[in-house]
Amino acid sequence: MITLKDVSKYYTKDNPVLKDIDIEIAPREFVCIVGQSGAGKSTIVKLINKEIEPNSGDIIVGKINYAKFPKRQIPFLRRKIGVVYQDFKLLPKKNVYENVAYALEVAGVSNKEIKERVPKILKLVGLADKGTCYPNNISGGERQRVAIARALVHQPQILIADEPTGNLDPKNAWEIIDLLLKINTFGTTVILTTHNKDIVDRLQKRVITIKDGKVVKDEKVGKYEL
């Protein structure tokens, strides 16, 4: 599903962010990527989502070799990859329903299909009764659920959650993790980057540890150990 082969990324040659990274993630996997701030976790997310290009190495997602992928097709690629961020990135002047629907509107999806898809996604994330609420009037956990709904509305094959619980209290954090696990059971590949040792240790999923831009550990059932 996802292959990073000998991937390096640097903004200055004296300070590489990633050094010869090798990662393979299979379809339907749930993978935790851990490491201290600046280790390179978010850079991996941006590379997989094709927000940035590697300086060297190959990235293949599905059967798509990123080096040969035309720029005009990138918006279509990103509909197969949902991304959720720590700071939600919701539109404050749009309500919950409109935030999720907007992701479909910009893709040219018909109003009929939007009206069918959005309520189903909101129900899936437990927000069926929050459609008319605005981001500032709901909790942090609910905002993250909106962000997840927006990422899922294109029915992506991959969901990347980049520090999704960083701004949440423990109760809301675990509700978000439970939702990610549920999404994974539907067949979606889930990649979770996190600083949260308790979450990683209790999940008992595959853990890839990044340190100083390198993969230093990759365990099928791992713990947060730096």
> Would you say how long the chain is, in residues?
226
Model confidence pLDDT, tens digit, residues 50-103: 999 999 999 999 889 999 888 888 888 888 899 998 888 899 999 999 999 999
SS3 74: helix
Q: What is the pTM of this model?
A: 0.93
Model confidence pLDDT, tens digit, residues 165-199: 988 999 999 999 999 999 999 999 999 999 899 99
CA distances from 63 to 50, 55, 112, 203 (A): 15, 21, 32, 29
SS3 152: helix
